[in-house]
Every structure is written in C-alpha cells, then in structure tokens.
C-alpha cells in the first residue's frame, strides 16, 4: 500500500470508527437464525455479541451479555447484514432548473434527510451516491459520520468526472478534455475526498437517445490511474458490452450498471468472473417507467406508504404516470430491462460479482431491485451477499462491513421471515441495527410516523 493510499484508508477507517461509536450501545442477540452475508448456509441458534459498535463474537452456544448490554431475543427471527444500495442519487440535491431559470434551486436538505430515513426504515444501512450536488451530498456525509443526523452510512462521489457534453456533464460535474491540463480540476475534485470516482463512458445513440460526445478511452485510463494512485477506487457508467470491456481494460474498479443495450456474450460473463470487477445491477431504474404506467397500485404497498409522502404518491399516480405513458423511452426500457435481467443472471451464473443498486432514491426502490434479481432467476440465498457484502467489496471495505463476522461493524437487520427462502422477506423488518445501535424507526421523519 502506497503512503498516500495508506493515509487515505486510515483516515477513512478513523471516520467510520468515530461514527460507529457515536451513541453506540453494547448488544447481545440470542438464539437467532443467522444469514451472515457471505453466502454460507443459515445457522440456527446463533448468538451474536456487539461491543463499541463492532461484532465481538458469533457462536452457536450461549454468550454472556456485556455489562449494560441490550439483549434481543432472536427466537423465531432471522438476522442478516444491513442492506446496501450502491447506486443512488439522493433526492434534494441535483435538480433541473425550472423553465425560465438558469440556476437550479438550492439543495433541499429536509427532503434528502427524509429519503435517508426511508432507507433506514427499510433496512438499508449503507448507501453510495453515484453523482450529486457536491455541497449537498458531502455535507450530509459529514453529518452522518459525525453522528449529527440519523442516516445509513453515506459514501459519495460528489460530482462525477466526464468529457464535456457527455452523459452527466451538468450539475456539478468536473469536465476534462485533455491531459495534463486536467490535473488542477481533478486535484480540486480529489480535495473534496470522494469515496469513489464515478466516470461516464457512453455515447448513447441507442433506443430513443441521441448520440453525444464520449470520454476518450485513453484519457479515462489516465484518470483511473491518477485516482488509484491516490487511494481512490473508480466506477464507470457504461451500457454496452463493448464500452464495458474497454472500461475494464482501462482499469476501472467497478461497473456502475449492467449491460442493457443488448444480450451479453458468454465470453463477457466469463470475463466478469475472471476479473472479479463488481457490477451494480440497477434494474429498477429502467423497469420503473412501465411499472408505474401498468401497475400504479404498487405504490399502495406498506413500505411505499410508510416512507413516501401521500401527495407525492398521488402525483406519481396521475401526472407522472401520464408523462411516462407518453414517452417512447418507457416502452423501450420495458423491453431492455428484460434483456438486462438475463445479462445479470448470466454474469452471476458465471461467478461474477453483482452488487445491489437501484439508481433511485428510496428504500422501497432498493427492495424492488432485489425482487427483480429474484425474478431474473437468481436464488434468494444468493441475493443476500449481493445486497450486503458485495456492497462493501464495491467500496474496497469488505474487512469493515457487509457480513456478520467478528471484528466488523455491527450493521444488521432482524427479520420476522426468512429472506433466503424469498427475498421479499427482507421487508419483514423487526429491528434495524447500525453500529450496534438499534434504530428507533418510530422516531424517523416519515409519513408512517406522522
């Protein structure tokens, strides 16, 4: 590990340690069925001890509770790691300016915090924001790590880096078109301490999307190396097998999306297994359009009603639904989402690393992502690591998060039903635990609590 990387990583762990112990409580969970997130078979009659926000013991025999610990009876319950959504764009941040205005509205922190509360309520303890107003998302990240707000753990890119005119080249993006002239711009981006660099590498020209400029692959390779040398992992937005292959061999550490422009080859699925490059699934974002048009009643499910304001649900069912119905993009994405589902299944079957991510901004959307993975033919038991440990792998922090093992931060969800039998059972939440502390779901700023 280089001195720079070691310094960055040590600083990051220090921030996690401070956040995990803020208000931490010692905890003992008794006699629970454990799904530890690694893909190992469920273990019944497990006991889990937590001290200072970290798991200290996992055993099949009774453990003694630490002095003053909270004790949870897990009999008839199921314990899994906290869920992750490794591709969000938190609402309240980047927004399109209203017609006639040049500048977007100021960030809405209240809106963002409600969305964060919705994720916590839904069992999500870790999020990665893949591009947003840096002043908005990095401030919320700072507040979360200081224990000033109730929130899942926040990891963020801030603003993305891309080529002028390319995908995502507005709303706080750093635009680069030459080297070494780009160094000062990238140094300014790095100074804000992004957890992961997000690049976009796509010219579009597919479906109903017009062709746009694309980041040159040679420049992308230089940028990836520049960030990696400073201890920062990278992910790239791609949508075709060709561009995904080029991004992988340019050195990106992860893919921000599955292949959606067409069926992948068997060779690509094997490549993903050999390279072990994490791929974020993001099926929900494409499926969401036609689902709203054809099945608006999904918004009446308890998790949606609990976390989304009633007036917003009404707007979605009326104005937004009519808008989506009229868009050619809606019907294109309905077809292509089925292709993306099969592509994701193939990568998983070959042994590739999938990571759950919705490309949306709500806990219910995160659960929908898991439902679509199950619909794609991936077994519920296999989805559990995709929705937990693999999120930490995406971040390069699998030694800290993502599974219920001694030494790791105690982010967990206690359930009333078995998610390894049906991933929809991940919604049967009894308790959400972050850093060993039981979240008071009744105190979150959500419609269910008003």
What would the pLDDT profile of 264-303 be if each residue is shown by its tens digit?
999 999 999 999 999 999 999 999 999 999 999 999 999 9
pLDDT of 3 strictly over 50: no
Q: Which two tokens stand for residue 404?
A: 């219920």
User: What integer pLDDT is reported at residue 365 of this predicted model?
Assistant: 98
Residue 47, strand partner residues: 59
What is the rounded distance in angstroms from the CA atom of residue 181 to the CA atom of residue 177?
8
pLDDT of 1 strictly over 50: no
- pTM attached to this predicted model: 0.94
CB-based contact 155:129 (threshold 8 Å) = yes
CA angle 266, 269, 273 (to 5 degrees): 140
User: What integer pLDDT is reported at residue 4 of this predicted model?
Assistant: 44
User: What integer pLDDT is reported at residue 66 of this predicted model?
Assistant: 82
pLDDT of 240 strictly over 70: yes
Residue with tokens 């689902």: 291
Residue range 29-83, pLDDT digits in tens? 999 999 999 999 999 999 999 999 999 999 999 999 888 999 999 999 999 999 9
CB-based contact 87:358 (threshold 8 Å) = yes
pLDDT of 6 strictly over 50: no
What is the rounded distance in angstroms from the CA atom of residue 444 to the CA atom of residue 450?
10
User: What integer pLDDT is reported at residue 209 of this predicted model?
Assistant: 87
What is the rounded distance in angstroms from the CA atom of residue 42 to the CA atom of residue 27?
21
Buried b (16+ CB within 10 A) or exposed e, 59-73: eeeebebbeebbebe
User: What integer pLDDT is reported at residue 2 of this predicted model?
Assistant: 44
Smallest CA-to-CA distance from 364 within 415, 307, 313, 318 is with 307
Element (H, E) at 140: helix 134-145
- Label residue 12 by pLDDT band (50, 70, 90): low
CB-based contact 106:72 (threshold 8 Å) = no
Residue range 210-239, pLDDT digits in tens? 999 999 999 999 999 999 999 999 999 999
CB-based contact 307:387 (threshold 8 Å) = no
Q: Which two tokens stand for residue 110?
A: 């209240």
For the beta carbon of residue 296, count every other beta carbon within 10 angstroms: 15
CA 346 to chain centre: 21
What is the rounded distance in angstroms from the CA atom of residue 125 to the CA atom of residue 402?
10
- Label residue 24 by pLDDT band (50, 70, 90): low
User: What integer pLDDT is reported at residue 16 of this predicted model?
Assistant: 53
User: What integer pLDDT is reported at residue 97 of this predicted model?
Assistant: 54
Q: Where are the beta strands (DSSP E) in 130-287?
A: 153-156, 161-162, 174-175, 196-200, 233-237, 254-255, 279-280
User: What integer pLDDT is reported at residue 106 of this predicted model?
Assistant: 86
- Label residue 103 by pLDDT band (50, 70, 90): low
DSSP label at residue 213: -
Using a pLDDT cut of 70, give the percent of the chain over it.
92
**Terminal-to-terminal C-alpha distance of the chain:** 50
pLDDT of 152 strictly over 60: yes
């Amino acid at each position: 590990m280089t001195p720079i990387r070691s310094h960055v990583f040590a600083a990051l762990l220090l921030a996690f340690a401070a956040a995990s112990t803020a208000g931490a409580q010692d905890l003992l969970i008794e006699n629970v069925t454990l799904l530890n997130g690694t893909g190992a078979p469920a273990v019944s009659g497990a006991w889990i001890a937590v001290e200072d926000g970290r798991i200290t013991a996992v055993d099949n025999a009774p453990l003694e509770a630490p002095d003053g610990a909270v004790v949870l009876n897990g009999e008839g319950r199921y314990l899994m790691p906290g869920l992750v959504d490794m591709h969000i764009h938190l609402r309240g941040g980047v927004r399109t300016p209203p017609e006639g205005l040049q500048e977007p509205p100021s960030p809405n922190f209240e809106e963002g915090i409600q969305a964060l509360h919705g994720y916590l309520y839904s069992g999500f303890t870790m999020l990665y924001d893949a591009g947003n107003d840096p002043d908005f998302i990095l401030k919320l990240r700072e507040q979360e790590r200081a224990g000033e707000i109730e929130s899942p753990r926040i990891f963020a890119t801030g603003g993305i880096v891309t080529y002028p005119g390319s995908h995502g080249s507005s709303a706080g993006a750093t635009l680069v078109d030459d080297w070494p002239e780009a160094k000062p711009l990238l140094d300014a981006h790095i100074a804000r301490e992004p957890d992961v660099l997000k690049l976009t590498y796509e010219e579009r020209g597919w479906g109903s999307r017009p062709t746009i400029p694309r980041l040159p692959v040679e420049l992308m390779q230089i940028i990836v190396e520049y960030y990696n040398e400073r201890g920062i992992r990278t992910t790239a937005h791609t949508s075709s097998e060709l561009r995904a292959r080029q991004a992988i061999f340019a050195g990106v550490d992860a893919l921000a999306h599955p292949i959606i422009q067409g069926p992948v080859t068997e060779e690509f699925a094997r490549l993903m297994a050999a390279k072990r490059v994490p791929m974020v699934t993001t099926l929900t974002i494409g499926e969401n359009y036609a689902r709203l048009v054809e099945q608006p009643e999904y918004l009446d499910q308890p998790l949606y009603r609990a976390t989304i304001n009633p007036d917003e649900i009404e707007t979605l069912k009326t104005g937004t639904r009519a808008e989506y119905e009229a868009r050619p993009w809606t019907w294109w994405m309905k077809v292509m989402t089925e292709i993306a589902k099969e592509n994701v299944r193939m990568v998983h079957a070959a042994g590739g690393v999938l990571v759950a991510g919705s490309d949306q901004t709500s806990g219910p959307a995160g659960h929908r992502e898991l439902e679509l993975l199950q619909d794609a033919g991936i077994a519920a038991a296999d989805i559990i690591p995709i929705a937990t440990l693999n999120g930490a792998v995406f971040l390069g922090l699998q030694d800290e998060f993502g599974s219920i093992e001694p030494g790791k931060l105690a982010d967990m969800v206690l359930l009333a039903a078995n998610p390894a039998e049906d991933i929809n059972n991940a919604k049967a939440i009894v308790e959400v635990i972050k850093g060993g502390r039981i979240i008071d779901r009744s105190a979150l700023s959500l419609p269910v609590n008003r």
